Amino acid sequence: MDFEKINSQIPDFNQAAADEAAAHWNNCAKPVGSLGELEALLIRIAGVTGSAAPDFSRRAVVIVAADNGVVTHGIASTPPEITVTMSGFMAKKRSSVCIMAKAANCDSYVVDMGCFKKLPFDGIIDRHISDGTADISVTAAMSRGQCEQAVQAGIDLVRDFKFTGGYKILATGEMGIGNTTTSSAIASVLLQRTPAEVTGRGAGLTDDALERKIKIVEKAISVNRVDPLDPFDVLRKLGGYDIAAMVGLFLGGALYSVPIVVDGFISAVAAYTARRLCPKSYYAMVASHVSAEPAAKMILSALELNAVIHAGMRLGEGTGAVAIFPLLDMAAAVYRDLMTFADIGM
C-alpha cells in the first residue's frame, strides 16, 4: 500500500471555508469565542468539508468488530465470546452505543472485519478477513496483505457511506475483546512510552490481571521486533483488524472530505497511526472525549486534538463519539440562528 501516494491524494484543508466560519462566529452577537471548543469544532469541520454552512443531517457511527488472538492469555475481564454476543446486540440496535446513537439521531452500523467466527446476524456489513488475528505475543497479528485489506476496507466504507448513504459525518466505534491490549502495544511503540505507562485496566481488570497484561504487551513488542519508525509495521504486527479498519476510516475521511469523530483510546490509537502513515489525514479528525485509559491524554496530545467531553467514560463501542453529536447540533443552531452584531445595531 502506497501511503505516500494516499497522502498526496488527500485534499488540502480548506482554509477559506474555515476562515469564513470563524468570521461568522465572530459576527454572532455574543462574546467572541465564548463557546470555546464548540466554535473550534465547526471551524475545523468547515475546513474539512469546504463549506461554512454546517450540515450534520446524516450521521452514523461505524462499529468495527474483530477478535484478537492474544485473548488466550487472560488479559481481558470478559471471555472472547463476548465479541460475537455484543455484536449481535449491536445488530439489533440494543447495545449502549446504538441506544445513545438513536437518541442523537445517528444511525449505527456493525462491520465484521474478523471475529473468531463470522457474525451470523442480519444487518452486518461483511468484511470478514479471517477468524481473528494471531497472538501478538507469539507472532505478528496480521500478514501485510491482511492488514492492507483491513485498511482499504475502512477507506472504502467512508466512500460508500458518503456517496451511497449520503452521510455527512461519521463516528468511529469498535467491538473486540482484547483490543485495549493491542492498542496499548501500538501506543507504547509509537509514543515511545513503556508498556506500564500506557496499559490500563480496560473493562476492569484486577491488579494481577493488569500486571499480566503489561507483561504480554512487553513480550509482544520484543518478539515482533517492530520498527518504531514504520507505523504500518507497528500496526500489522501489534494491532488488530478493528484498529486497521479504523485507520482506514480516518484515511478515507480525509480522502473524501468527511469529518471522522475519534472515540476513546482504541480509536485514538488508530487515528494517531493514520496520521503517522498519512500526515494530511489529521485535518479530518474530530476529537470527542478523553477516556479513562491512562494513555488517552497522551494520544490526544500527540494528535494535537482537544476533546470536548471529560466524563471518565471507558465503555468503548463509539459511545463517546456519538455523545458529541448533540453538542454539535446545539453549536450549529447558535451558528445558524443567533442574531449578528449588525442585527442589533452594533
Residue 6 CA, chain-centre distance (Å), reads: 19
C-alpha cell at 142: 496480521
Q: Of these residues, 39, 174, 293, 317, which one is catalytic? A: 317
Q: Give whole-number Cα distances, 204 to 79, 89, 214, 292, 315, in Å.
A: 13, 21, 14, 11, 10
Residue 199 CA, chain-centre distance (Å), reads: 18
Longest dimension (CA), the chain: 70
- Cα–Cα dist 202/209, whole Å: 11
Give 16-25 contacts, CB < 8 A, sequence gap 24+. Answer: 17/46, 17/47, 17/49, 17/50, 17/51, 17/52, 18/43, 18/44, 18/46, 18/47, 18/52, 20/46, 20/52, 21/46, 21/47, 21/52, 21/54, 21/335, 24/52, 24/335, 25/335
Q: Is 218 a catalytic residue?
A: no
Phi, psi torsion values for 125, nearest 5 degrees: -85, 115
Q: Give whole-number Cα distances, 142 to 6, 153, 173, 182, 242, in Å.
A: 21, 15, 21, 12, 12
DSSP state of 5: H
Do 189 and 200 form a contact (C-beta atoms < 8 A)?
no
- Cα–Cα dist 319/99, whole Å: 9
Active site residue ranges: 317
